[in-house]
Amino acid sequence: MSLLDNDTLKSIYPEQLRAYLLQTGWRSDSKIGEFATVWHRPSESEFEYEVLLPERVDLRDYKDRVADAIVSISAFEKRTESKVLKDIANYFSDTVSIRVVHNDVENGTIPLEDGVKLFEKAKDLLSSAALSTISKKRYFFGSRPSEASNFLSKVRLGQTEIGSYVVNVVVPLDTQSINDLIDRKSFSRHVTTTLGKGLSSLKTLTESPKSDSKIFEALVSNGVSANMCDALVGLSGEKRNRGFDIGVSFSASEEIESSSVISYSFSSNDVPSIEKASEYLKENYVIDNATISGPVKKLDRAKSEEDGTVTIVAFVEDRDRAVSFELSSSEYHEAILAHDQKLIVEISGDIHIGPRSARMLNPHGFRVFGAKDIFE
């Protein structure tokens, strides 16, 4: 396909091309009236590379002149014209590339339902990073803050690519001019940086031989939320059988602290760990085979029933929680006496942690510390 047939040319404006030339070492040394500037890049060879930069988009041959500039830059950089064009078009943007990996997408197609979900989850991924940029929380729900909504309204979908199946998300930075660059990072750059830190933390989680509350809690400070986890799980498809690679390419128009490109790969085997992290952050998970103890906080039994519900305050995963469980009539009577005497009780079982409550499943081994003093 001819370079002139590439629709991306239409999106290139003089400021983008000028900023790219400045950043990569080209220098302007003459003008052609008010219509163009001439740029040179001396090289070690005898040939001196030249770019003619059109300064007005209303020129009749503007698209042709941009194409000529791309050809010259491509020749100097020894890169394909399409790659140079992409870099210039996205000069004031970061790019998030999402590649799903499975033998059913190797030909560059994807089942319709999963394709729709892929684009939806790509949006959710950027949304979760934006929300965590504003405030670090375990789980976001309800309406988005205006800053996050404004950010998402500017994000664009780039062209998909063959290579399993690749979706490119273009994140424009807050500046659109080389003269507007400021010392602080733009909000958009903060979002892509948050995304990178979150992906790094989740990759570490999947590589850890064990996962506990301390590891999960550390995720939040690095920008991970249940929303981010759910978005990543969604990328694996309805059957959770696809792996996925996520790369973040940072625009050169703003200072970055490390590499301009970061990439993380997750296999389908990593998905259960990410799902578990989501459940923990939503406080919707089960702790197996736990033994807890604490004072009786509440007793509840219907008049027509002999069995009852007991709630104790116990230290569970680094904090006090009210945990409820069912007891038989005889054990419930012991719990009443323990409550009256302010004694500590113990119970074993599986604890279901919810966002507002905790409940002991299949409780057993109920005992009261100091019970002999009560029943002698």
Q: pLDDT tens digit string along 52-71?
A: 998 888 888 888 888 999 99
What mean pLDDT do residues 340-365 have? 92
pLDDT surpassing 70 at residue 45: no
Check pLDDT > 70 for residue 241: yes
Query: Quick one: pLDDT at residue 181?
Result: 41
pLDDT at 28: 87
- Mean pLDDT value of segment 92-114: 87
pLDDT for 163 equals 67
Lowest-pLDDT range of 96-100, 284-288, 330-334? 284-288
At 261 the pLDDT is 82
Looking at domain 286-375, its CATH architecture is Beta Barrel (2.40)
- Phi, psi dihedrals of residue 369, rounded to the nearest 5°: -75, 130
Q: Which residues contact 165 (CB under 8 A, 6 or more apart)?
A: 99, 100, 105, 108, 109, 110, 115, 118
pLDDT at 374: 46
Is residue 196 within 8 A of residue 89, CB to CB? The reply is no
Residues 6+ apart with CB under 8 A from 149: none
pLDDT of residue 375 exceeding 90, the answer is: no
Return the pLDDT at 355.
Answer: 79
Mean pLDDT over 277-301 rounds to: 92
Q: What is the pLDDT of residue 291?
A: 96
Mean pLDDT for the stretch of residues 286-290:
90
In this predicted structure, what is the pLDDT of residue 47? Answer: 59
> How confident is the model over 299-307, as a mean pLDDT?
90
Return the exposure string of 215-240: e unless at least 16 CB atoms fall within 10 Å of the residue's CB, then b.
ebeebbebbbbbbbbbbbbbbbbeee
Task: Provide the pLDDT for residue 27.
Answer: 87
Question: For residues 75-108, b (16+ Cβ closer than 10 Å) or e, as one string?
Answer: ebeeeebeebbbbbbbbbbbbbbbbbbbebbeee
- Residue 53 or 158, more confident: 53
**Can you give the pLDDT at residue 34?**
84
